[in-house]
Structure 1
Amino acid sequence: MPTSKRAWLYVVRNKKRTTLLFLLLVVLMAISQLGLALHAASGEAVKNLRSSIGGYITIQTAVDSEQNTDEVLLQQLSTLDNVSKYNGVDPYYMYTEGLELIPGSYRGTGMVGEFVPKFVACTDSSLHERFVGASFLLAEGRHITEDDLHKAMVSQELAQRNGLSLGDTIHASVVEGVAGWQPEQYGTEVGFEIVGIYQIARNEPSDPTTPESELQENMIFTDISTAKELYALKFPDRPAESFVYSLGIFLFLDDPALMEQTATDLQAQPYADWDNYVISQNDTRYQSAAAPIQKAETLSLVLLLVILVLSIGILALILLMWTRERMTEVGILISLGISQKAITRQIILENYIIGLPAFAVSLLVSLALSGTIGKLIGGMLQDIQLASYISPMHAAFVLIGAAIVISIAVLLASISIMQKKPKDILTDLSS
């Protein structure tokens, strides 16, 4: 009788053993499928997180340094590897007649400070640390961009207090008593069109001694082009390249995980004497968001390894017990002239016959449970369609892996047979 027929007859006739092995293989292969899918989903989530979350390096001038974070330095730094975006920030102050600010220490005095907010010029306001850190959120309109001119973004509180909306204009001017200006600039006027309104998500403490210009509700974001225009009025003899980003230059990275390496590469560049700068790294949001996903990725990998070890151990133990119980059958087959190797192949084939339908069922079970697993994990993985990561490649990997595990388990279980000579087996049966 052919080996395949003997294997099939054994599977059909031993229903209890077949059912037990079938269920065991379904569970092990389903867990393997889900583990592989979770590992792939976690890796993809971390990859997406690296490109979407705002890890950045800040370059600021050190105290008493004669070097500046100027336009020349910004353009050089923007060409570094792993730098995807950049933001230069520079504040200035102007008088806003007719604009009622949120009251501060100048309230009711009639002094200039009662009508002077802080204007914060940005290359890109969405990359300002207030927005990156989510203490400010865009509520209406859009952010300030590098291509804007005479545009502004104000807080909801300031807009509501003055009845302002998108498209309205804020008028600012230079008058005596405003910091940072010389008499020859008095009378300079700028009109800012409101293109965005932001919401303050996290309030910061203030006290009666805080001036209007330092209250976060009175912060007005403007485009960098206007700041450069005003800089040219202040210093007509200086070239545009000398424009200084006095609050620093912020470099946003393609991959925050490479922040340390990028900072090292930056300081190896000959652009400046880096001892005159303070270079700081900020990847807090990335680390806090990535930590649970990386944990899931690690756990899924450990899960797969544990499953592999347990699979071999459990199958080997079960098959060892079953093989020893089949010693009479083995002795009869040997007496019929069937070799020990052929008998081992038969046992392997029996398990393959059970394993193939078990694999198909495990695939269905994995797909059915994928949504539940995603919800149990929660966090950023909760919204990921885990079923989409149960790919044909992973299915093939599990199938091939199961075949290898079964073969190893059967070979381990068959050692007791292979080590014995045929006559010893027959002697044991006759005794």
Structure 2
Amino acid sequence: MKWSFPIARLFGTQVRIHVTFFLLLAWVGISAYSAGGAEMTFFAILFVLSLFLCVLLHEFGHALAAKGYGINTPDITLLPIGGVARLERMPREPRHELVVAIAGPMVNVVIAAILLLILRVSTPILEISFEFNSFSGFLVNLMRVNVLLVLFNLVPAFPMDGGRVLRAFLAMKFSYARATTIAAVIGQSLAFVGGFLGFVLPAPLLIFIAFFVFLAAGAEASAARTEEALSGVKVADAMMTRFQVLQVGDKIERAVDFLLEGSQTDFPVVDSQDKVVGMVLRNDLMSALREYGEEGVVREAISDCHLTVKANEPLPETLQVLNQSKCRTVPVISGEDESLVGLLSLENVGELLMIKSALDSHDRRGKGHPFLESGESLLHR
């Protein structure tokens, strides 16, 4: 995520923090100092850091549960509004998704239970305070926030965990796409009610959350419909097969010529054995051109994205990987000798979806079509 930087790596997952998090700390510190001086500032900042530690543990609950099903989590990013665990993909087995979705809130349940136990052991019930600048008050408020995190995350609406829990239960009876659509409609209905209440109360934060939930639910449903539309489609059905290729030792001038000659903006690079070594993207080409000039070598312009996909891989799974990566165009290699056979980009997938939608409309009028039945791609060019 842009404007974030790594602070640690745990269990194979990189922990990142967004720069706006420090703006939150600064705001909390200034507000606390104005209200109660240095002591209040210390406890307020300590509370925020403890809260985000709980959020981080929540996200690792998801990550470790997913790891149990062979799904890695490349990174977790901490933002002022919470944490985001970027899983490679969500489990398609409903029971697996249920476990992954519920794991995060269960971590907060455990944290709240531990804090309650510490309170019971360390402080007589009549001496418990709710002030931040006391030991018992600190624990009480941290426990309350963890309970609120559980309740908020279990609201049955995307992108909260409750939306995924609801979809997992629905997917035990319906198709994945149908389950997602139903869960999204429920989530958007709750968002509409929340937004209405936000205007009535008024509560600007509730309006913001409702708007965010409404958009997220729609995006989740759209992604599920896309995945269903691409069911059974291979990478080979969407890839480009007419494109220019650069040799790793070519001069940058050759890449510039290719760029000006046609509409291709990203170029695969191969070595002397015709094996893929990377991609030269337009932005990287411009950077190399400024630094080395036209006499520079193509290897100096190769992108740091080294992803390749195989032609016989399912397109939906490949699309998930492509969306999670920083690569906008990737080389497609054969499954046998790993030779370069095509290029795949999100634009290709979008074109395939448009063609499929048009042909499906044609088919509904009773004319039929042999879409992809022969194994030939309609997008080969």
Same-fold call, TM > 0.5?
A: no
TM-score, normalised with respect to structure 2: 0.23
Q: Which of 1 and 2 has greater Rg?
A: 1
Bigger relative contact order (CA 8 A; separation at least 6): 1
